[in-house]
Chains A and B, each alone.
Chain A
Amino acid sequence: MRKLVTAAASAAFIFTTFAMPAQADNHSAQIAEGKSIYLSKKRGNCISCHQISDPDANQAGNQGPPIVAMKQRFPDKRTLRAQIWDATRNNPLTIMPPLGKHWILSEEEIDAVVEYVYQF
């Protein structure tokens, strides 16, 4: 059985030699891109299952949890990224498609979605 560990411990578990790429310069462009992916049926289509309090997100579904309190739920943004990349790791039966693992979105697109939803 896989052991659950705290976020801090798991961060210590993983040694990386690179940091996330610098994003400050194009952050608002990245958020806009993330929003477009979130809403687009052909791309992320996140809206089909997740409510989000963005005025442009109409008729969201409720198959998944609403996008609220993201910073509290995911103090480490990378944990959120991992959940979007492959939600089946935590729940093999989930309806949520493994957006990264199945290369439904590119890595850049996933980064953009993370930045967009992390505002809520």
Chain B
Amino acid sequence: MKIKTGLMLGAALLTAGIVQAADSGFDLETVNPEADRKALQAYFKERFPKAEIEDYVNGIYAVDAPSREQWEALEEFPPYEFDIEEGERLFNTPFANGKGYADCFENGGIGIRHNYPYWNKEQGTVKTLEMEINECRENNGEKPLRWSKGDISRISAYMAWTSRDMPINIQVPKDDPRALAAYLDGKKFYYTKRGQLNLSCANCHLQGSNIRVRADIPGPMLGQTTHWPVFRSKWGEMGTLHRRYKGCHRDSRSRPDQPQSETFRNLEYFQSYMNNGLVSNGPGSRK
């Protein structure tokens, strides 16, 4: 076995700026989402003392001044503006049966983004906003939309827009141990090295969050899901969070999961919990 808790590993961990977790919890008996969330904030507070925790919703723009200038210029005429308008139009266009999206969601679908994803006890699974958009369609006799881009990202963008600045509020209900299991599954995915390149999400977005890959700094783990869907310059269009997940998973040279797989929904659940206390600020624009 490769890992030995010895001098060498201790030295390696210290070099990476990571201390072996004692209290974090790695199984169902010990895992503690709130402890994880606080530890993550503390980690970034130490790494970037000048950055305000609230500002992590803005990704690397919280920690990298030169890219922030470019991004602020971009945000003056946000590239997602048209998509929000189009999303609003789609949201308010009735289905063939006369009903609409507003009939499927709490509060008519307005100002609810910050509660997603959530644990659904009846169905025993994590529900994402995009998932419920498509369920709404199917329950009303419409065909589901494709998951990654296009109309689903526009509707999601509009719904996020109506929830801007609302504090993210992800719950891991204590009365259902399966919810904690889903959280733990997402956490485990984030920290697990995989693919031919042997990369975990944490390798770049935690451990490597202060150093460059070519000319770019990886987005910090804290705040990573607050601003989705995103108009990504590289795509030249809007895309959903799970589109990005799939791309990132593939970049580790894994055969990637598909959007809305249980794995990705659990990952979103874990990541979104980490952002509790930050505000929802989607849609966003990124390079």
Contact = CB atoms under 8 A, between A and B. Distances in A.
B16 A93 contact: yes
Contacts of B207: 93, 95
A103 B6 CA distance: 28
Say whether chain B's binding surface is mostly helix, strand, loop, or mixed.
loop
A104 to B, nearest CB: 6
Interface residues of A, number: 24
B4 A2 contact: yes
B199 A97 contact: yes
Interface residues on B, range: 20 to 34
B130 to A, nearest CB: 31
A92 B18 CA distance: 13
A90 B2 CA distance: 9
Interface in A73-101: 88-95, 97-98
Interface stretch (B106-114, B135-143, B210-218): B210-218
Interface in A12-64: 47-49, 59-63
Contacts of A89: 2
B204 interface: yes
Contacts of A9: none
Contacts of B4: 1-2
Contacts of A8: none
Contact of A93 (B6, B18, B216): B18
A11 to B, nearest CB: 19
Interface of A: 1-2, 4, 47-49, 59-63, 88-95, 97-98, 102-104
